[in-house]
Structure 1
Amino acid sequence: MVVPKAKVPDVLQLYRISCSGGHLGVKRTLLKIRERFYWVYCRDDVEDWCCKCTSCVAVKGPQTRSRGALKLYNVGASWARIALEVAGLFPESESGNKYFMVVMDYFTKGPEVFAIPNQEASTVADKLVQKTS
């Protein structure tokens, strides 16, 4: 059946929200519509309709993947910039330590590992100040 241009939105609406239609995407919606109907620029209209459908767009997500901007950080001295990670819960040692604190110096790229009894901020800060001073 040839569809007049004024009735194209009605056909598209019928095939997108009906039980037999659904939000199938461009290819499958186009195949279903072409089984029964024809009009000029059918593919363009179906693609346009699917791109404007809020349900389909929400499921697909954003088209471009955003990445964080990479930045160069100048480090001029040892221990001027560090990275810190606390790993654990390990079996308790004889001295009561259950965690490891790994500190990486950005300048020398040398790791330092310290045993600590807990991962509270005060314990981590005390150990860091005690060992780096």
Structure 2
Amino acid sequence: MVVPKAKVPDVLQLYRNVCSGGHLGIKRTLLKIQERFYWVHCRDDFEDWCRKCTSCANLKRPQTRSRGALKLYNVGSPWERIALDVAGPFPESESGNKYFMVVVDYFTKWPEIFAIPNQKDSTVADKLVYEVFCRFEYL
């Protein structure tokens, strides 16, 4: 059946936006339309309709996932380079701590975990100096 230009939106609405049509993607839905209908620039009209469809736009994902570049860190001895992270807030403990500070040595993968009351820079620095650096300074 040849569709007049004025009725093209009705056909697209029928095949794309109703429960029986569904948002199956451009190729599958276009094949369903082309089985029964024809009009000039059918593919272009349909692709334009799909680009403007809010349901499809919400479901689309980027074609490539962006990932951070992996870097190789050369570490020659223990505690030469460390990683530090603060996790929380968690429910407050009896001693008033809400956060965990995690320190990991890059060379040995040795983790050190400390409970801290807040994530202020002075609190983190004190724990780092008095609990990590002082204990491992001989290395």
Q: Where in structure 2 are there 5+ consecutive unaligned residues? A: 135-139
Task: State the alpha-carbon separation in 2 of the partners of residues 29 and 86 from structure 1.
Answer: 52
**Counterpart secondary structure, 1:109:** coil
User: Deviation of residue 74 (structure 1)?
Assistant: 1.4
- Would the alpha carbon gap of residues 99 and 20 (structure 1) be closer, same or farther in structure 2, given more than 3 Å must change? closer
**Counterpart secondary structure, 2:47:** helix
User: Deviation of residue 10 (structure 1)?
Assistant: 6.3
Any idea what the Cα deviations from partners look like across 1:37-95, whole Å, max 9, x if unmatched? 147997xx2797269724366331322222222111112233232222334444223xx
**How many correspondences in the alignment?**
123
1:28 to 2:32 alignment: no
Task: State the alpha-carbon separation in 1 of the partners of residues 2 and 14 from structure 2.
Answer: 23
Q: Say which of 8, 11, 26 aligns to 1:15.
A: 11
Contact 1:105 1:111 in 2 (8 A): yes
Q: Where in structure 1 are there 5+ consecutive unaligned residues? A: none
TM-score (norm. length: structure 1): 0.62
TM-score (norm. length: structure 2): 0.60
Amino acid at match of 2:11: Y
Give aligned-pair identity as a percent: 55
Aligned residue in 2 for 1:76: 76
Contact 1:79 1:105 in 2 (8 A): yes
**Counterpart secondary structure, 1:104:** strand
User: Deviation of residue 123 (structure 1)?
Assistant: 0.3
Aligned residue in 2 for 1:104: 104
**Counterpart secondary structure, 1:53:** helix
Task: State the alpha-carbon separation in 1 of the partners of residues 49 and 83 from structure 2.
Answer: 44
Aligned residue in 2 for 1:58: 57
- Would the alpha carbon gap of residues 68 and 15 (structure 1) be closer, same or farther in structure 2, given more than 3 Å must change? farther
- Would the alpha carbon gap of residues 64 and 115 (structure 1) be closer, same or farther in structure 2, given more than 3 Å must change? closer
Task: State the alpha-carbon separation in 2 of the partners of residues 68 and 51 from structure 1.
Answer: 35
Contact 1:81 1:107 in 2 (8 A): yes
